[in-house]
């Protein structure tokens, strides 16, 4: 894969002031997600996501668990991309990393739709509050990471830090929902 050269006159890394852009993107997306979820009071509780799952919570649990598996794969391929693994990186690793991230993100969209527009922001228990906050943080972190990738030339630690925060937020969401549910009822569809 060839590197995209910066526009003429732009060389080196961006100044620290540019970190404001992804941090602002994180804050805006996370706050808007949380506010929209808080504003939603539920709505029709129909069976619009049944597919082959017994109910929406089973669907969300298995989609989230699959997204976590892809996120773990993302960690491995990111380590390979940043040459932290002991063997040479083949040319197919970066595209595979991007596509596994896209698929993981797409798997979270039906989950987010149900959580935001059907359940809303929940703060009745510490677990549901943590889940709601972490869920909003996931989409803020995703927006921030994509902005960092597209803007280029940030210091070398910024992209791995953004990816690590996104991974941590996704794990927090999964831990406070899917894993909690699997512990409660067992692994069934």
Segment among 43-47, 76-80, 145-149, 153-157 with least mean pLDDT: 43-47
115-173 pLDDT, tens digit per residue, is 887 888 888 999 989 999 999 899 999 999 999 999 888 998 999 999 999 999 999 99
21-42 pLDDT, tens digit per residue, is 888 888 888 888 777 777 765 5
- What 8-state DSSP symbol labels residue 132? H
**pLDDT at 126 (0 to 100):** 92
C-alpha distance from residue 151 to each of 6, 7, 19, 80, 166 (Å): 10, 12, 10, 22, 18
Looking at every residue in the chain, the average pLDDT score rounds to 83
């Amino acid at each position: 894969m060839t590197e995209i050269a910066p526009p003429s006159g732009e060389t080196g890394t961006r100044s620290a002031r540019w970190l404001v852009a992804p941090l602002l993107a994180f804050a805006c997306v996370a706050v808007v997600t949380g506010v929209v979820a808080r504003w939603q009071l539920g709505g029709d509780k129909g069976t619009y996501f049944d597919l082959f799952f017994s109910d929406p919570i089973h669907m969300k649990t298995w989609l989230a668990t699959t997204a976590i598996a892809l996120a773990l794969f993302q960690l491995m391929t990111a380590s390979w991309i940043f040459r932290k693994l002991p063997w040479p990186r083949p040319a197919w690793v970066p595209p595979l990393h991007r596509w596994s991230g896209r698929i993981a993100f797409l798997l979270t969209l039906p989950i987010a739709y149900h959580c935001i527009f059907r359940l809303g922001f929940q703060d009745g228990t510490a677990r549901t509050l943590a889940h709601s906050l972490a869920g909003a943080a996931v989409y803020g972190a995703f927006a921030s990471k994509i902005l960092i990738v597209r803007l280029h030339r940030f210091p070398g630690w910024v992209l791995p830090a953004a990816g690590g925060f996104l991974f941590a937020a996704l794990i927090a969401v999964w831990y406070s929902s899917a894993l909690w549910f699997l512990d409660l009822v067992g692994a069934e569809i």
